[in-house]
Amino acid sequence: MKIIKRVCALALALMMLCSAGALAAEERWDSRAVVSPSLTRSGSTLTCELHVVAMSPSDKISANISLAKQRPNGGWEVLDYWTGEEATGKLYFEETYTSTEVTGGTYRLSYTVTVTSSKGSDVIEGEKESSL
């Protein structure tokens, strides 16, 4: 009986330690970076822009960006994507996508930005939808 109590007490203590570690791992650093997406159309060309300004000029910024068009059935088709965009302090991304398929419709610019400093990393995800 004493062994069962000891095993239960030990198991309870281990569970408490594990849950405390999980809570600590969930704490995130808030970079307070400003992310500004923009999507414009001129004829058959879409211009995709993403500007990121970190609070500290030494913060490292990386971004993955995708461009998609909404189909008549409501689904999305990815037209283009850019990965591994990197900068320090400020990131200014601008790319164009030209196609005869660029006509009126709804387009989505999606992004995942990671800001890293000595305090940790902050992941910022978002999207900009535009009817163009």
Give every strand in the sheet of 60-70, ordered side by side: 76-88, 60-70, 106-117, 120-131
Predicted TM-score (pTM) of this structure: 0.77
3 φ, ψ to 5°? -65, -40
Structure tokens at 84: 């591994």
Dist CA 79 CA 95 (whole Å): 13
The whole-number pLDDT of residue 104 equals: 86
The whole-number pLDDT of residue 90 equals: 98
Q: Average pLDDT by consecutive 10-residue portion of the chain (132 residues)?
A: 52 52 59 96 97 97 98 96 97 97 94 95 97 92
Query: Is the Cβ–Cβ distance between 71 and 132 less than 8 Å?
Result: no
Query: Is the Cβ–Cβ distance between 113 and 33 less than 8 Å?
Result: yes
Exposed/middle/buried for residue 63 (C-beta within 10 Å: 0-12, 13-18, 19+): buried
